[in-house]
Structure 1
Amino acid sequence: MRATRFVIPLGLSLLLLACSLLTVSDTTPASAATPAVVTTFLPLVSTQPTPGGVVAPADFEYLGAFRLPGGADRPRTFAYGGNAMTFRPGGDPGGPADGFPGSLFITGHDRMPYGELPDGDQVAELNIPAPVTSRDIAALPQAKFVQGFRDVTAGHFTEMEEIVRIGMLYLNHPLSGPLIHIAWGQHIEPDPTAATHGWFNADLPNPNFQGPWFIAGQSWYSVNDYMFEIPADWADAHVGGRYVATGRFKDGGWSGMGPVVIAYRPWDANGNPPPARATIESTTLLRYATSTETENIERSLNDYQHPDEWNGGAWLTTSTGKTAVLFAGTKSNGTKYWYGYVNPAGPEFPCVDEEITDFTTCRMADGTSCPAEDFTECAGHNDYRGWWTTRWDAQFIFYDPADLARVAAGQMQSWEPQPYASLDIDDHLFHNPAGVEQDMLGTGVQRRYRIGDVAYDRQNGLLYVLELFAEGAKPVVHVWRVNP
């Protein structure tokens, strides 16, 4: 592993007063002899760490990877897939006792617009073979189908088929039973807007889809990608039993300048779903300022850059009481980043789209504007416009759930929590060895879209991470153990 960073918040090393004093003069006229003094005790924002401690990067042990099955015929293929993944305990009851129980639900080839592939993003369930560490992809074991591809969302989310974003969460709650919750979005919000969430049965031939629903009080761009379980005891204590976390990061700061966590619960006291197109109440646990709220890089993730990518999340817990909220993605760590194209002259040179003038299209690492000479569209670029950077790195970042509890309690603003650590995982990735779609994906340090969704086996402390475009156009699954 190339880089690990662990940051101890300053507040954990300070002794704080139990309260602060605010002295305010009353409205007695100046002619009065002695103005009254009102003393108000303000609540202290606790800086106590999470009981049991937080998961550290050193707790991660890389175990290897495995391949996905199936051919290349769309839509029933994992090629150009891997948008969403979730873990099911007990999902492969007849599997070997190899230490990797359960199964994974994974989406296949994405839907495509204008009638080209309206039945994409089908869902399949796979067993989990024991992973192998090898630089030869062909030497990796291959998962097998437990349930084949099914179009579980047929007839739903039909307004959103262009650069689709999806999250899934398997959750077996006593009230609702075993269900797969789903979030669905696309590159640009439809007009009129569209509902984004639903659920379906884990028995894929009989999905009985329920929804779609809106999430109350949230930007459409902030809710419809990754999903993960909030541990029940934490959810009961801090967010009124909202056990489902949903969120999205959209580059350019549209969703907020950093990852988002929104808590919700889509069933009533009897386990019944809301009616279609209902609006479900939610609690914000993490959300930074959006680029529509401010032109500046402020109220943001530390070291935020517009080309950042956060595509998967998990709420980690261990048997010894450690915990963390993890996000996986491809972090922009460039000296410069810009909206435009890859410059054929090299990754260190910006190539902005000169036709875009309504926002700052080139910035330095610290968020300030690039020099004037960088606001030039280069010659010979390809057609893949978007946010680019001089360097991306595949990373995990870690948040302390105690900070999210303070946000829920109104003791911190939603943009104040920051990661306490990060872990670089590039050394374990294959990095598109077949050279698929290099104009779209980029190459070398400018390779984007490295990481897809993640899933967590809480009982066994196993983290599953999709690497996109690893076996041709198909992803592979990497596995880490989170040691207690």
Structure 2
Amino acid sequence: MVASGIEYVTRRGSQTSDKLYGAIDQWYGVVEQTHPTIWFSEMDGSNPRGPYHVGPRLLPYHGNKAGDYLFSVPQWYADQHLGGRFLVTGKTRGAFNGAQGPTLFAFSPWNSETPAGNLDAIPLLWYRIFFPECAGPNVGNKSQCDYPDFTMCDKWEGGGFVESGQKRAIILLGKKGLGSNFYGDSPAADSCDDSRGYHCDPYERQVIFYDVDELGQVAQGTRNPWSVRPYTIWRPRQFLLGNAQGQTCGETGGVVVDTVGKRVFMIEKGFGGHQNENAAIVHVWSVP
């Protein structure tokens, strides 16, 4: 269980102070039952409340589809497409009621200091699980997946809503497996992971772009959530780790979009520390 995304939310309803919202990534959720993934606290971390379940405890809502990243969308977009819901969370977990590809669920933060129940949420994006057809161990066929070239090693770690004039997108940052869905002991001495499990070498870091109008159609019930695909993929060459093809074992971290300063922050991991993840570099791009 890992604490992942955080987001600042101004006081709402009867609340007396601004809040800090956070997400919980329970990666190894290997049971069908769901779990809560969102908490909130005072700005200094005191008086934590939750965790809360995103949406009702019925499919397609599930803890294996939420909690890996957390960000906000502009209020105008939330009002136009999402019924006012402006916080978004998601996750990639290709089994146990997760999704074979990244997910996006929009929800409203609480209006009181001591709320109870589930968060009010709607789906924007999730991909169906076809197992073993899509990504079964050693037998999966990527052409059978909703998400293009999905592997069980794909991990999307951060997201945000980016605007430049009339151009808008929701972006997700992560590490993408380029190989097959091999399952077993490490297949080669230079494999990124030496443990038993899925190995999808080689890997590269990607930023995928989603059309916000298409996601809005899903939210309004006029389009299936698995029909939306990234319209472009960016492979940042500014990341420090990687060979000539941009392939690396390095992980990624979160994304922050500074709407006032028009900047995008992305975390590149892989520079040492526990499991080679604690030491990281923050890259900053300007949004024209």
Q: TM-score range by the shorter chain?
A: 0.7 to 0.9
Number of aligned pairs? 267
Structure 1 distance, partners of 2:193, 2:201, is 17
Structure 2: 5+ residue stretches without partners:
135-141
Task: Give the counterpart of 2:183 among 339, 346, 358.
Answer: 339
Between the two structures, name the one with larger relative contact order (CA 8 Å, sep ≥ 6): 1
Structure 2 distance, partners of 1:190, 1:344, is 27
Structure 1 distance, partners of 2:9, 2:189, is 49
Instruction: Note the 1:139-218 alignment, pairs <5 A.
Output: 161=1, 164=2, 166-172=4-10, 175=13, 177-189=17-29, 194-204=35-45, 207-215=46-54, 216=56, 217=58, 218=61
Instruction: Note the 1:214-225 alignment, pairs <5 A.
Output: 214-215=53-54, 216=56, 217=58, 218-225=61-68
Structure 1 distance, partners of 2:211, 2:92, is 19
The aligned residue for residue 138 of structure 2 is none
* Distance of aligned partners of 1:170 and 1:249 in 2 relative to their CA distance in 1, 3 Å threshold: same
Structure 2 distance, partners of 1:412, 1:183, is 27
Structure 1 distance, partners of 2:185, 2:174, is 21
SS for the counterpart of 2:67 is coil
Q: Which amino acid aligns with 2:40?
A: W
Deviations 1:206-264 (A, max 9, x none): x2212221122412200111001021111112221111101111256862121100011
CA shift, 1:194, in A, is: 3.9
SS for the counterpart of 1:428 is coil
Structure 1: 5+ residue stretches without partners:
1-160, 348-380, 433-443
SS for the counterpart of 1:470 is coil
The aligned residue for residue 127 of structure 2 is 288
CA shift, 1:193, in A, is: 5.3
CA shift, 1:280, in A, is: 2.0
Is 1:431 aligned with 2:232? no
* Distance of aligned partners of 1:194 and 1:261 in 2 relative to their CA distance in 1, 3 Å threshold: closer
The aligned residue for residue 259 of structure 1 is 102
Structure 2 distance, partners of 1:256, 1:166, is 18
Larger mean Cα displacement after TM superposition, 300-309 or 247-256: 247-256
The aligned residue for residue 197 of structure 2 is 386
* Distance of aligned partners of 1:332 and 1:193 in 2 relative to their CA distance in 1, 3 Å threshold: closer
SS for the counterpart of 1:279 is coil
Deviations 1:173-196 (A, max 9, x none): 554553211121322238775432
The aligned residue for residue 330 of structure 1 is 175
Task: Give the counterpart of 1:401 among 206, 212, 223.
Answer: 212
Structure 1 distance, partners of 2:51, 2:174, is 27
Question: Is residue 254–residue 291 contact of structure 1 (8 Å, CA) maintained in 2?
Answer: no
* Distance of aligned partners of 1:200 and 1:382 in 2 relative to their CA distance in 1, 3 Å threshold: closer
* Distance of aligned partners of 1:257 and 1:279 in 2 relative to their CA distance in 1, 3 Å threshold: same
Deviations 1:259-311 (A, max 9, x none): 1000111324xx44522xx222210000111246x733545222222221211
Question: Is residue 341–residue 382 contact of structure 1 (8 Å, CA) maintained in 2?
Answer: no
Q: Which amino acid aligns with 2:126?
A: R
Structure 2 distance, partners of 1:313, 1:244, is 11
Question: Is residue 152–residue 181 contact of structure 2 (8 Å, CA) maintained in 1?
Answer: yes
Identity of aligned residues (%): 27
CA shift, 1:414, in A, is: 0.5
* Distance of aligned partners of 1:323 and 1:408 in 2 relative to their CA distance in 1, 3 Å threshold: same
Structure 2 distance, partners of 1:188, 1:253, is 10
The aligned residue for residue 321 of structure 1 is 166
The aligned residue for residue 231 of structure 1 is 74
SS for the counterpart of 1:280 is coil
SS for the counterpart of 1:285 is strand
After TM superposition, the score normalised by the length of structure 1 is 0.50
Structure 2 distance, partners of 1:414, 1:471, is 38
Structure 2 distance, partners of 1:266, 1:200, is 12
Instruction: Note the 1:7-86 alignment, pairs <5 A.
Output: none
Question: Is residue 214–residue 228 contact of structure 2 (8 Å, CA) maintained in 1?
Answer: yes
CA shift, 1:400, in A, is: 0.6
Deviations 1:381-415 (A, max 9, x none): 98512322232111101001000111112211000
Structure 1 distance, partners of 2:210, 2:86, is 18
Q: Which amino acid aligns with 2:148?
A: N
Instruction: Note the 1:356-395 alignment, pairs <5 A.
Output: 383-395=194-206
SS for the counterpart of 1:404 is helix
Q: Which amino acid aligns with 2:262?
A: G
The aligned residue for residue 287 of structure 2 is 482
Larger mean Cα displacement after TM superposition, 306-315 or 244-253: 244-253
The aligned residue for residue 51 of structure 1 is none
After TM superposition, the score normalised by the length of structure 2 is 0.82
CA shift, 1:475, in A, is: 1.4
Please provide the CA RMSD for this pair. 2.8
Is 1:245 aligned with 2:88? yes
